[in-house]
Structure 1
Amino acid sequence: MGIYHRPDKLKDALRILAQQEVTVAAGCTDLFAATQAQVLSGAVLDVTNVKDLKGITETAGAWRIGAAVSWSDLLAQALPSGFDMLKQAARQVGGVQVQNAGTVVGNICNASPAADGMPPLLALDAQVELVREGGTRVLTLADFVTGPRQIARQHDEIVSAVLIPTGSAVGGSAFHKLGARKHLVISIAMVAVRVVVAGGLVTEVAIAVGACGPVATRLPAIEAALLGVACSDIEAVLDEESMAVSLQPISDIRGHASYRLDVVPQMVRRALTEAVTSTGALL
């Protein structure tokens, strides 16, 4: 194994990135699993001790989840109801040991098509903050994850945080995951839903699906169809044909496209029902 860097200052981490080729690590629950070698090759930059990357804070206009925040850290934090779906996903990221070590940011940087954090973060309108020596940029999560195991991070950048707009943290939310067994499983399909209800009508809705294609994705056509709909009429809007057009799932080793076409609409309905019910609205 090459040099193992574990700085406690962001400026030192950025300096290391600018000077040499390194593998950025945060938790390492995916990093070690991705190699069959006995040791990791090359230098490693562990960012979990960087103080500026720790903690979940509410800033002007956004909630900030630092790159060193573990799934267990997220679960322990008091957060608005829009985050409920992300916490539900957190409880299904491996076992407790993995939740203690694995990070929210590491989950999206790994860019697995079945990453548990992706659907709820998409439904929260998440943005990704990237920092390098001399500058910072922000991308939407959809623009950051460009394909299976592919992200838009440059070699001299660190993903410093995930940003959730304050307005997207409200409403009821729910996360449903389907696998070959109940726990410790890679998903066949995932659904995350966030909904805001006023006067018995859907005024805001976000629906994201994961593990059904190369990347997790929102369902904008279904979202648009639900806006302004009475909670009691949601089932009528979610017809099979429109859901099938929006989904367009793939077949892979974990499930056939036709199976996903059958189960995902049911998962969306259940997640919507749970999310709406959590707001106190009547279906």
Structure 2
Amino acid sequence: MAAYHRPDTLQGALDVLAERPVTIAAGCTDLFPATQGRTLTGPVLDITGIPALRGVTREEGAYRIGAATSWTDVIRAELPPAFDMLKQAAREVGSVQIQNSGTVAGNICNASPAADGMPCLAALDAQVEIATTKNTRTLPLLHFVNGPRRTALEPGELVTAILIPEAATRGTSRFLKLGARKYLVISVAMVAVRLDIDGGTVQDAALSVGACSAVATRLTDLEATLTGQPAEALADRITDAAVAAALSPIDDIRADGPYRAHAAAELLRRAVDDLTQPARAAA
């Protein structure tokens, strides 16, 4: 390995990036398997030694998930119920060792179509904060990840945080996924649902599907259909046809497109049913 950098400040990391291209490491649970070797080829910039990039904090108008925040950090954080889906996804990312090492930001930067964090963060209207030595910019998550293994990162840029706007933290949430087994598997389909229900009526709905398209997809038309509706029988409004039309599901060795569309619709119905039980019971 030609060079290994592990700065303890963000400025130090940005200075390294400004000097020359490097491989950015933030947990390496995706990076090492992709390397197919015993060591990483250099130069490498490891950001896990920067305390300012780790942890979940609340700022004015948003929650901030630092770029070095692990899945275990998310599980342990005190967060509103709207984040429950992200915590549920974190518990299924892999083994405890992977949850301890892998980072939420690394998960999105890897840009796998089956990244567990993507549908949850999409349903939270996540923004990605990106920095260089000269400036900082933010992008909506679904503009940041723009294809399989592709992101909008430019040379010299570093993801510093994932930002969740306060407005997207209302309500309760649920994450479900389908695979050959529960852990250590690439999903056939996964869904994240956030519902804000008041007085038995849906005030806001966010539905997202992962592992069915090149990038996780928000089902905005279906969200609009559910908003303003009574919580009773809400799942019945989620039809296979509506979900399939929104997804353009992919075919691969794990499943074909029609099966994925049906699986995603069924997972969405189950998630919505779970979330509306308290409202139905109170009716």
**CA distance in structure 2 between the aligned counterparts of 1:274 and 1:98, rounded to whole angstroms:** 28
**CA distance in structure 1 between the aligned counterparts of 2:56 and 2:239, rounded to whole angstroms:** 39
| 1:275 equivalent in structure 2 | 275
What are the Cα deviations for residues 21-80 of structure 1, in whole angstroms up to 9, with x where unaligned? 101110011110102223222200000111221111100000000011100011111100
| 1:52 equivalent in structure 2 | 52
**CA distance in structure 1 between the aligned counterparts of 2:119 and 2:275, rounded to whole angstroms:** 15
Q: Which region of structure 1 is more displaced relative to structure 2, 36-45 or 164-173?
A: 36-45
| 1:206 equivalent in structure 2 | 206
State the aligned residue count.
281
Deviation of 1:3 after TM superposition, in Å, equals 0.5
**CA distance in structure 1 between the aligned counterparts of 2:235 and 2:28, rounded to whole angstroms:** 42
| 1:231 equivalent in structure 2 | 231
Deviation of 1:239 after TM superposition, in Å, equals 2.6
The AA in structure 2 aligned to 1:184 is L
| 1:157 equivalent in structure 2 | 157
Contact 2:123–2:208 (CA<8 Å) still a contact in 1?
A: yes
Q: Which runs of 5+ in 2 are unaligned?
A: none
| 1:12 equivalent in structure 2 | 12
The AA in structure 2 aligned to 1:62 is A
The AA in structure 2 aligned to 1:101 is S
Deviation of 1:248 after TM superposition, in Å, equals 2.1
**CA distance in structure 1 between the aligned counterparts of 2:276 and 2:82, rounded to whole angstroms:** 12
Q: TM-score, with normalisation over the residues of structure 2?
A: 0.97
Deviation of 1:245 after TM superposition, in Å, equals 1.4
Contact 2:113–2:216 (CA<8 Å) still a contact in 1?
A: yes
Deviation of 1:244 after TM superposition, in Å, equals 2.3
Give the secondary-structure state (helix, strand or coil) at the position aligned to 1:264: helix
Deviation of 1:158 after TM superposition, in Å, equals 0.9
**CA distance in structure 2 between the aligned counterparts of 1:248 and 1:89, rounded to whole angstroms:** 23
The AA in structure 2 aligned to 1:251 is D
1:119-158 matched pairs, under 5 angstroms? 119-158=119-158
1:63-82 matched pairs, under 5 angstroms? 63-82=63-82
| 1:110 equivalent in structure 2 | 110
% identity of equivalent residues:
53
Contact 1:193–1:271 (CA<8 Å) still a contact in 2?
A: yes
Q: Provide the aligned C-alpha RMSD in A.
A: 1.1
Deviation of 1:93 after TM superposition, in Å, equals 0.7
| 1:178 equivalent in structure 2 | 178
1:2-41 matched pairs, under 5 angstroms? 2-41=2-41
